[in-house]
Amino acid sequence: MIEEKKIATRESFGKALSELKDENIVVLDADLDSSTKTDLFKEKHPERFIEVGIAEADMIGTAAGLATCKKIPFVSTFAAFATGRCYDQIRTSIAYPNLNVKICGTHAGITVGEDGATHQMLEDINLMRGLPNMTVISTSDDVQTKKMVKEIAKMNGPVYLRLSRLKTSVIYEDDVDFEIGKAVQIGEGIDATVFATGVTVAESLKAQEELLKQGIDIRVVDVHTIKPIDREMIIKCAKETGILFSVEDHNIIGGLGTAISEVLIEEHPKKLIRLGIDDKFGMSGRAEDLMNHFGINSKNIVEIIKEKLHK
């Protein structure tokens, strides 16, 4: 970790979005622009900002219509409403016709904190991953988010970008590049692999540091693209390291752990221990306390790795 600067990926998203050069980019929001940070784009390009009001289904459809006319719409609201509330609109009007719409869901996961279960989206990866044509991205820090916003603007096709409210550590140097579909391996440890995504990457890296002090050398894989999943990286780590772990701020059903399991079972059967929200809804509380409660912070990761490695 290069510094202890902490930034929420929703902030990085808003900033990167406002700096995109392509004049075909249009941003739509559903009465949450100060929270999703699309207000930064609105200030710079009011003529390309569309406020639909509290009407997420309409927002998705409007974006689809704009995309048929060669615009590049970025729609943004909280992950719960961006995916769950308008799943059928995404399915019929975006994914099936394969339209170039970027769905950006901020406030994903239990790390939303105090707002509680209704606003803590734990099923969005599952919903979006199951849609043909959809690319699913979940970024882990400021640098990666800014670069991924540029990458998804360049690619043609529907994308779901999962973002967080919680401020998290900056992990990468500014000159690191990311490729959609290529996970990032951090460290060469062979005792275990921890596959992480979004806010759990920083936690996994803290765990990696702590474990190293105790003589356990693990590697962390930042799986920023959940679909298409980086099959090669999963197989490589399965072959090179001991027990495999996945950790995510999402239901363990249908999320990162499931995506990795599917590859393992087909290519290199091996035990994978899935950390995440174990088929439950979230609840109100401080984000840090909730991460501890649901077992996805660095302390939990250290404990379970030591337990499973019998150390």
* Cβ at position 54, least distance to another protein in Å: 9
**CA neighbor of 164 nearest in space, from 185, 183, 138, 190:** 138
Contact between 55 and another protein (CB under 8 A)?
A: yes
Please list every residue from 8 through 47 that binds another protein, using CB under 8 A: 26, 47
Tell me the window of 48-56, 237-245, 246-254, 295-303 that interacts with another protein (CB under 8 A). 48-56
Structure tokens at 54: 């509290």
Give buried/exposed letters for 283-302 (b at 16+ CB in 10 A, else e).
eeeebeebbebbbbbbebbb
Please report how close the Cβ of residue 10 comes to another protein at its closest, in angstroms.
24
Amino acid found at 88: D
Write down the catalytic residue from 11, 56, 151, 248: 56
The single residue listed with the structure tokens 């170039």 is 100
Q: What share of the chain is helix, strand, coil (3-state, %, to 5)?
A: 40, 20, 35
Where in the chain does DSSP place strands (E)?
6-7, 25-29, 49-51, 72-78, 102-106, 135-138, 159-162, 168-169, 184-186, 192-196, 218-222, 225-227, 243-251, 272-277
Nearest C-alpha neighbor of 229 from the set 141, 128, 147, 135: 135
Q: Which of 7, 25, 57, 212 binds another protein (CB under 8 A)?
A: 57
Q: How far is the CB of 249 from another protein (least distance, A)?
A: 30
Part of the chain binding another protein (CB under 8 A), chosen from 66-74, 151-159, 179-187, 298-306? 66-74
| 97 lies in the binding site for another protein (CB under 8 A) | yes
Stretch that binds another protein, among 12-20, 65-73, 120-128, 260-268 (CB under 8 A): 65-73
Q: How far apart are CA 121 and CA 171, in angstroms?
A: 24
**Nearest residue (CB) to another protein, 52 versus 148:** 52
Compute the C-alpha angle 146/167/100, nearest 5°.
35
Count interface residues toward another protein (CB under 8 A). Answer: 31
Q: What's the closest the beta carbon of residue 182 comes to another protein, in angstroms?
A: 28
Does the protein bind another protein through residue 76 (CB under 8 A)?
Answer: no
What does DSSP assign to residue 92? I
Stretch that binds another protein, among 85-93, 119-127, 193-201, 244-252 (CB under 8 A): 85-93
Q: Residue 117's CB: how many other CB atoms inside 10 A?
A: 15
Nearer to another protein, 54 or 190 (CB): 54
Instruction: Say whether 307 is catalytic.
Output: no
Among 34, 92, 156, 214, binds another protein (CB under 8 A): 92
Which residues of the shown chain bind another protein in the complex (CB under 8 A)?
26, 47-48, 50, 52-53, 55, 57-71, 73, 88-89, 91-93, 96-98
Active site residue ranges: 56
